[in-house]
């Protein structure tokens, strides 16, 4: 019994001794400031300090597992928000909700195969935090049809028929088509936003979004859906949407 107790004590001591070492190892990955800039986002006439702070997986990793926006107000106090994860976060300032005060627009590259970008939009007017969000991706109908073609229907009732005969050999090999007939109903792939930028719309300052449309697989790019959005009455309004075929697709 004494031997067993001694062995158990040694094992227990070893585990307890190892815990601080693990915590120290994890703590060595320190947060780093990616962006630091000054802008008046509260509309008090004085510039606030805004920083994007990232925590990588390790000291050599480019991918940031956590990204934070820190706003240090000119009159004291601060607000810190977790805004996502990814690569190369950026911050821009523009009055997108049209209340006379600049909002904070954050973009983060996710690093996925589709080149997806994550976007966040916040207001800090009068030091009151409001999550304005960004427009949801445009919902479209997009599917293959007989004859090695695809059809895309947009919310504005515009319809596009795309000739995909240049992909005939690939589609036949995959079993997508047989003798020009679609083997079964198959939708196209519509990505979330691969780009979202501040731009001038028909009504004023708004957002421009780009979504990639692909065929049988992600690399089978067909075109892009481009949308223009304007913020009005507390919500995003779709002002314009169109489909643009990729010239280098065939």
pLDDT digits (tens, 9 = 90+) for 97-152: 999 999 999 999 998 666 899 999 999 999 999 999 999 999 999 999 999 999 99
Of 230, 224, 234, 223, the closest CA to residue 208 belongs to 230
Write down the pLDDT at residue 17. Answer: 36
* Tokens standing for residue 48: 């606030």
> Is residue 10 pLDDT above 80, yes or no?
no
Predicted confidence band of residue 192 (pLDDT cuts 50, 70, 90): very high
Residue 96 and residue 206 in contact, taking contact as beta carbons nearer than 8 Å: yes
Output the CA–CA distances (angstroms, integers) from residue 126 to 42, 77, 97, 102, 132, in the order listed.
Answer: 5, 13, 14, 11, 15
Out of 16-30, 143-157, 211-225, least confident range: 16-30
Write down the pLDDT at residue 5. Answer: 35
d(CA 59, CA 53): 14
pLDDT digits (tens, 9 = 90+) for 37-92: 999 999 999 999 999 999 998 888 889 999 999 999 999 999 999 999 999 999 99
Write down the pLDDT at residue 113. Answer: 62
Residue 206 and residue 229 in contact, taking contact as beta carbons nearer than 8 Å: yes
Write down the pLDDT at residue 1. Answer: 39
* 47 phi and psi angles, rounded to 5 deg: -80, 135
* CB burial string 142-156: b at 16+ within 10 A, e below: bebeeebebebebee
Residue 128 and residue 211 in contact, taking contact as beta carbons nearer than 8 Å: no
Model-level pTM? 0.84
What one-character-per-residue DSSP string does 47-93 give?
Answer: PEEEEEEEEESSTT---EEEEEEEEE-TTS-EEEEEEEEEEEEEEEE
pLDDT digits (tens, 9 = 90+) for 193-218: 999 999 999 999 999 999 999 999 99
Write down the pLDDT at residue 247. Answer: 82
Write down the pLDDT at residue 73. Answer: 97
Could you give the strand order of the β-sheet that contains 205-214, starting from the edge strand earlier in sequence?
189-200, 205-214, 221-232, 235-245
Of the chain, the percentage scoring pLDDT greater than 70 comes to 86
> Is residue 24 pLDDT above 80, yes or no?
no
247 vs 37, higher pLDDT? 37
> Is residue 239 pLDDT above 90, yes or no?
yes
> Is residue 22 pLDDT above 80, yes or no?
no
Residue 174 φ/ψ region, left for φ over 0, alpha for ψ in the -120 to 50 degree band, beta for the rest: alpha
User: Three-class SS of residue 241?
Assistant: strand
Of 213, 238, 214, the closest CA to residue 224 belongs to 213
């Amino acid at each position: 019994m004494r031997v067993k107790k001694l062995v158990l004590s040694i094992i227990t001591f070893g585990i307890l001794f190892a815990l601080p070492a693990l915590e120290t190892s994890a703590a060595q990955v320190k947060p780093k400031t990616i962006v630091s800039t000054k802008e008046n986002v509260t509309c008090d006439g004085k510039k606030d300090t805004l920083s994007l702070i990232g925590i990588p997986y390790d000291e050599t990793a480019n991918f940031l597992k956590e990204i934070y926006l820190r706003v240090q107000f000119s009159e004291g106090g601060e607000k810190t928000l977790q805004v996502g994860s990814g690569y190369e976060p950026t911050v821009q300032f523009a009055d997108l909700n049209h209340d006379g005060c600049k909002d904070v627009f954050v973009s983060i590259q996710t690093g996925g195969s589709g080149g997806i970008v994550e976007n966040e939009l916040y207001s800090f007017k009068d030091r009151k935090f409001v999550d304005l969000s960004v427009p949801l991706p445009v919902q479209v109908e997009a599917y293959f049809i007989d004859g090695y073609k695809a059809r895309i229907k947009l919310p504005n009732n515009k319809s596009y028929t795309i000739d995909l005969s240049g992909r005939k050999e690939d589609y036949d090999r995959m079993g997508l088509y047989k003798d020009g007939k679609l083997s079964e109903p198959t939708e196209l792939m519509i990505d979330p936003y691969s780009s979202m930028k501040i731009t001038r719309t028909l009504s004023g300052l708004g957002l421009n979004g780009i979504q990639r449309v692909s065929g049988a697989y992600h690399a089978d790019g067909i075109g892009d859906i481009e949308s223009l959005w304007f913020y009005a009455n507390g919500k995003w309004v779709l002002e314009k949407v169109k489909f643009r075929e990729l010239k280098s697709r065939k």
